[in-house]
Structure 1
Amino acid sequence: MSRYAAARTAAEAVDLLGADPGARVIAGGTDLVVAARNGKQPLPGSLVAVHRIAELARQRDAEAELELGALTTHAWLECSPRVRTRWSALADAAAMIGSPATRATGTVGGNLMNASPAMDLGSPLLVLGAEVELRSGRGTRTLPVAELLAGPGRTTAAPDELLTIVRVPGPPSRSGSAYVRLEHRKAMEIAIVGAAAAVRLRPDGLVGSALLALTAVAPTCLRVPHAEALLIGRRADAETFAEAATVAAAAVAPITDVRAGAAYRRAMTSVVVTRALALATARAVRPPTETGRNP
């Protein structure tokens, strides 16, 4: 690394990025710095630090939407009573990330811009319909999270764009969401397979709408629309969930790495999808309280 600048405002950070196309943004450093220390990739030659920008650390919670500044930490999501009750899948995922120290410093914006296929926040943000705001010297644009993620370590953001805000719509009535992942231990683990589900029940108890997204089984976190469509108008029971899980498993393209083989990941996709759908449905029937995530 040859250059380092610490911006005090979002406007200053945007100017720095515009002046140096090769610069990378750093906030908590839980992805960028750890990767460098592990020898996966060197630190960029130029860094723009945004951790002192107060406007990026704010949150706004309204009935219509949850607005998260890019510096919102995983710990904030994990501990927020409103997130636990209304956007439960986000709280589920945040609570699984790294260690308490990682959750206290790692940020929503950093997690998204690192664009790991195994990131825990990606699938919950997809099923909750989240969008991001990107700011540059040319102005501001908004796009869905699904359009931001382009591949392992890649986004559609231009080099001079700064992710400033993540917006998550308020959930409809009679709905619930959940994130479940397969892991070998409860701390300092990366998802082997993960699934997020958001389910809305009709007054007659049948599924009115359902969104499913998978983690660590494709180049990006991905939605599985064929499995979602199968659920609509069906009973929210184990048989229906098993059918949807089978369809979801057929849509994945996992890899083999040091943590798991492709065949194992494909088989376990059915397991986590079934569990995520069951938990999301239970929360739609009986929403979690502010003191706990489970219904």
Structure 2
Amino acid sequence: MTDDECIVFACTLQQRNLPRKIRTDVDAVMHGAPVTSIYVFCEADVQVGERHALQKWAVDTHRVRLEIIDGTGLAEALSTAEMFPIAREHLGLPRSMAPRHRSRLWLIVAVVLSLVGGSVVAWESWKAEPPPAVHLSTVAGTASWTSRAGQIEFNGNDPSNDDGYVAPAVEDLEDGTVRAGGLIMHPSWENYGFIRGCFQLSEPLAANDRFRSRAGFIREYADAGNVRFRVTVADNKGNVRIVADETDDRANEQMVEFDLSLADYAGLSTLCIEVLANGDAGQDAAFWHDPRIVSSANHL
């Protein structure tokens, strides 16, 4: 665009007699100051033949360039990675519909349906790029951490604190591996003590989401006690549902593998991970390795 250009934008939601509506709008614009281009945004689609006829009419009648961006054109523009945040903000599309860079057909259909008041639910999982995994250890500082002693501070207490302890860590684990990207969690030091971290997710769980992690014990304490690793979800009324509850007695030198479908909990936004002592909590230093929420199409 140059300094001497004047561009006018018009928009309409009209469905019937759209060519006549566009001509009327162009006539009205051209009765004002000189204009070089007019862009008309419309919700309904305009047939290619009608579009070309309107563009020729605009040039012949008013010597003005006419561009028509119809419903499909708008959807195609919003399907780009650069423009998709606008679609999310104004059309309420979920992050699971983040555009695939190789194909935009799925989002074109979805946005057109949304523009005309239809449902996009049926299109959410079709051709969608899997959303990025939510690695809970990277957002653990925002979670709510509790034990039998009440609220505790993330990465705040001394590891031997009776109230329990949680912190990011790199650990030498019971199966002989060394793992980063996880959380060391010690229950409160009492019989059947526990430590729990509840994460308020930025997006509700989707039907194709899974919880994945490996859990076990720090190698230097591999001869002591046992714990339960538990995953739960909660609704907005605080009702808790157990997704998994697995025991590790440390004696087997193997980590507990978690690959859990979250389909039954779609729509919920709170997920918790816990370590519960089976009896005496002494030396129950446990480790959740990279607890994360992933789409079933995302193999991370």
Smaller-chain TM-score bracket: under 0.3
- Relative to its length, the structure with more helix (as a share) is 1
The TM-score, its normalising length taken from structure 2, stands at 0.26
The TM-score, its normalising length taken from structure 1, stands at 0.26
Larger-gyration structure (1/2)? 2
